[in-house]
Chain A
Amino acid sequence: SQQGEEDPQALSIQEGENATMNCSYKTSINNLQWYRQNSGRGLVHLILIRSNEREKHSGRLRVTLDTSKKSSSLLITASRAADTASYFCATDKGAQKLVFGQGTRLTINP
Chain B
Amino acid sequence: EAGVAQSPRYKIIEKRQSVAFWCNPISGHATLYWYQQILGQGPKLLIQFQNNGVVDDSQLPKDRFSAERLKGVDSTLKIQPAKLEDSAVYLCASSHSTTGELFFGEGSRLTVL
A45 touches B56 (CB 8 A): no
Please determine whether A42 and B42 come into contact, CB atoms closer than 8 angstroms.
Answer: no
Q: Closest approach, in angstroms, between the C-beta of A39 and any C-beta of chain B?
A: 11
A42 contacts which of B45, B48, B91 (Cβ < 8 Å)? B91
Q: B41 and A33: CB pair below 8 A?
A: no
- B55 near A43 with CB under 8 A, answer no
- Between A and B, 18 residue pairs with Cβ closer than 8 Å are A35-B104, A41-B107, A42-B93, A42-B105, A42-B107, A45-B101, A88-B42, A95-B55, A96-B97, A96-B100, A97-B45, A97-B48, A98-B33, A98-B45, A98-B102, A99-B45, A100-B35, A103-B41
A97-B43 Cα distance, complex, nearest whole Å: 12
Alpha-carbon gap, A43 to B44, bound state (A): 13
Contacting pair A31 B104 (CB below 8 A): no
Name B's interface SS: strand
The answer to whether B55 and A44 touch across the interface, beta carbons within 8 angstroms, is no
Counting chain B residues whose Cβ lies within 8 A of the other chain, the interface size class is 20 to 34
Q: How far is the CB of A60 from chain B (nearest CB, A)?
A: 19
With CB as the reference atom, state the residue of chain B lying closest to A42: B104
- Partner among B31, B43, B106 whose Cβ is within 8 Å of the Cβ of A88: B43
> What is the size, in residues, of chain A's interface with B at 8 Å between Cβ atoms?
23
Q: Which 6 A-B pairs have the closest CB atoms?
A: A42-B104, A100-B42, A45-B101, A43-B104, A102-B42, A100-B43
| Chain B positions near chain A (C-beta within 8 angstroms) | 4, 31, 33, 35, 41-45, 48, 55-56, 91, 93, 95, 97, 100-107
Tell me which residues from 86 to 109 in chain A have a Cβ below 8 Å from any Cβ of chain B.
88, 90, 92, 95-103
CA distance A98 to B104 in the complex (A): 13
